[in-house]
């Protein structure tokens, strides 16, 4: 059975899926005229604007900033620490260049899927729910319910049943190694915190993410900046090494240029999750005046994950030389950095490299990595829950009976989380990977077919920017050629007429 499951996993996550993600990113980059590059200024304006954090958030809804933090909680995980080290170990420093490239392309895919998530969202319990299952049901070739159902069922399997144990096991293991905390105690603490959050509703989860995610990302990057500052003379040589190695121009890595591309692209795809359908559920939850706004914000979240956090890990490892590069076929080391230790092998590649880099840079590497893993893995658990619960809302159509099913699945999710803290099932990662892989296949193929509404939203938003109307609450999908019924956006327009801005003591309607 194990051989069969592993074989299925290798088929789902074959190079074809990697090429599909890469091709989709390139296709959407061309179709959007490079939205991820040309609209960076607007992305930053939206992120820093008061309207995204407060002004567009009604009493029962989630702000655009909180929605982005919810998606970042899933993107930024233990892979940003261990996965980056693996890419360097098997693809050399050049793999980081290709990780950057796939992330830049992936941001366009993220724009498409997140805008679709916003466009086809539905009202639920005072807020909004949406995502791939919703937009497939409503917009894919006249609506394909079975297609959305398949995505939703894969999401429940992966996010609520298989994957929680993997993250809690990582947390418990890191704390036991660093400070000797028994794993079962860590498991109880994790479940206790999760109970407070997941039974507190969407707003509590969003509020927690909105506080913790920026904190953990900023602190981690600051620590990396300190390490870089202490080794300032090596920054330019390290960046040069990354670029030269990517094209086989560095003698030590000339023979593994292909591996650099392969590992960089794979780690980038696994880390940023662009186009894989995990981000739109968070994007759909945002209370915003135009779908493209959340699409742009979510595109920027790819940069937060890959360009900022992954790069922070990579530069710490490369600058301190805390790595070895191995031949993937033989397992033999073909290069050792100046900070490499004798016990580094293919079997130990991962978070230990980041820990060694921090030990060389500022000390206390094991403790810093353990704390980072706790934050990164815990917030990933929250992202798992939100995606899985949203899929359940879709499958049960928000019914009263569905509430009972969702309650039971919450207990199942918490149960697997606790059991994983003691000992993660050997096949948990594999089953979870299969579920997420199926999600990726379904979503990427689907958005390639139904991307036009997201393009129409982008064109409309650009026109509004020219006319200084980008913050007006009068978006109407039908007026820009998108067919279908959009009761949610009809309601948003009605509510928009009641929203006011107060400037210099004068109250005026945002739209007439």
On the 0-12 / 13-18 / 19+ scale of CB atoms within 10 A, 360 is buried
| Greater model confidence, 328 or 469 | 469
Q: Is the pLDDT of residue 378 over 90?
A: yes
Helices (H), 450-486: 452-466
Q: How far apart are CA 234 and CA 419, in angstroms?
A: 44
If you average pLDDT over residues 214-229, what whole number do you get? 93
- Contact in structure between 360 and 234 (CB atoms under 8 Å): no
Which of 276-280, 348-352, 416-420 has the weakest average pLDDT?
A: 348-352
Mark out the alpha helices in 247-335 (DSSP H runs): 257-272, 280-284, 291-302, 311-320
Mean pLDDT, residues 180-191 taken together: 93
Q: What is the mean pLDDT of residues 230-248?
A: 91
Q: Rounded to whole angstroms, what are the CA distances from 425 to 157, 243, 420, 451? A: 15, 39, 7, 38
Residues facing 509 on adjacent strands: 500
Query: Backbone dihedral region of 145: left (phi > 0), alpha (psi from -120 to 50 degrees) or beta?
Result: alpha
CA-to-CA distance for 60 and 125, rounded, in angstroms?
8
Contact, 14 vs 21, CB < 8 A?
no
Structural domains in the chain, CATH included, are 2-438 (1.20.1740)
Average pLDDT of the chain to the nearest whole number: 87
Of residues 304 and 364, the one with the higher pLDDT is 304
**pLDDT at residue 506, rounded to an integer:** 42
Question: Above 80 in pLDDT, residue 61?
Answer: no
What is the CA 470 to chain-centroid distance, rounded?
A: 26
Write out the two tokens for 444: 């990427």
Top pLDDT among 203 and 495 is at 203
pLDDT band at 144 (very low <50, low <70, confident <90, very high): low
**Which has the higher per-residue pLDDT, 349 or 87?**
87
Beta bridge partners of 128: 123
C-alpha–C-alpha distance, residues 57 and 466, integer Å: 25
pTM score: 0.90
Residue 375 has pLDDT above 60, yes or no: yes
Phi, psi of 326 (to 5 degrees): -115, 150
pLDDT at 334 over 50: yes
Give residue 48's pLDDT band: very low, low, confident or very high (50, 70, 90).
confident
What number of CA atoms fall less than 13 Å from residue 226's CA on the CB side? 13
Going by C-beta distance under 8 Å and a sequence separation of 6 or more, which residues neighbour residue 120?
130, 134, 135, 138, 139, 284
pLDDT at 497: 64
């Amino acid at each position: 059975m194990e051989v069969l499951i592993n074989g299925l996993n290798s088929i789902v996550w074959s190079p074809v899926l990697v090429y599909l993600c890469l091709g989709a990113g390139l296709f959407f980059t061309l179709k959007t005229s490079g939205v991820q590059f040309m609209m960076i200024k607007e992305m930053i304006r939206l992120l820093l604007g008061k309207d995204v954090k407060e002004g567009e958030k009604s009493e029962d809804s989630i702000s655009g900033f909180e929605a982005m933090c919810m998606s970042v909680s899933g993107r930024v995980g233990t892979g940003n620490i261990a996965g980056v080290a693996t890419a360097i170990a098997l693809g050399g420093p050049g793999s980081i260049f290709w990780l950057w490239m796939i992330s830049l392309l992936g941001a366009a895919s993220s724009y498409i899927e997140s805008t679709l998530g916003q466009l086809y969202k539905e009202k639920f319990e005072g807020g909004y729910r949406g995502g791939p299952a919703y937009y497939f049901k409503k917009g894919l070739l006249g609506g394909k319910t079975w297609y959305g159902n398949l995505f939703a069922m894969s999401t429940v399997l992966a996010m609520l049943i298989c994957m929680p144990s993997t993250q809690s096991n990582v947390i418990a293991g890191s704390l036991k190694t660093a400070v000797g905390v028994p794993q079962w105690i860590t498991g109880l603490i994790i479940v206790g915190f999760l109970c407070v959050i997941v039974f507190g509703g969407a707003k509590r989860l969003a509020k927690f993410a909105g506080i913790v995610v920026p904190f953990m990302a900023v602190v981690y990057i600051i620590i990396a900046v300190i390490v870089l500052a202490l080794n300032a003379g090596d920054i330019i040589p390290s960046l040069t090494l990354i670029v030269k190695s990517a094209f086989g121009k560095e003698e030590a890595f000339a023979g593994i240029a292909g591996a650099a591309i392969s590992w960089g692209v794979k780690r980038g795809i696994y880390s940023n999750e662009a186009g894989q359908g995990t981000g739109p559920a968070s994007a759909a939850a945002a209370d915003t005046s135009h779908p493209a706004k959340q699409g742009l914000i979510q595109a920027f979240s790819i940069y937060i994950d890959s360009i900022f956090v992954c790069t922070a890990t990579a530069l710490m490892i490369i600058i301190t030389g805390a790595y070895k590069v191995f031949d993937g076929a033989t397992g033999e080391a073909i290069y050792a950095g100046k900070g490499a230790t004798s016990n580094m092998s293919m079997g130990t590649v991962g978070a230990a490299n980041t820990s060694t880099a921090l030990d060389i840079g500022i000390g206390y590497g094991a403790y810093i990595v353990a704390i980072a893993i706790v934050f990164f893995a815990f917030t990933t658990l929250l992202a798992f829950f939100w995606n899985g619960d949203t899929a359940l809302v879709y499958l049960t159509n928000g019914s009263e009976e569905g509430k009972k099913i969702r309650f039971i699945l919450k207990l199942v999710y918490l149960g697997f989380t606790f059991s994983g803290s003691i000992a993660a099932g050997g096949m948990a990662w594999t089953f979870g990977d299969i579920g997420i892989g199926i999600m990726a296949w379904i979503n990427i193929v689907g958005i390639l077919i139904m991307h036009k509404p997201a393009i129409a939203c982008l064109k409309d938003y650009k026109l509004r920017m020219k006319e200084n109307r980008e913050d007006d609450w009068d978006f109407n999908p039908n007026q820009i050629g998108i067919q279908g019924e959009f009761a949610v956006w009809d309601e948003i327009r009605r509510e928009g007429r009641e929203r006011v801005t107060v400037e210099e003591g004068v109250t005026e309607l945002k739209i007439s």
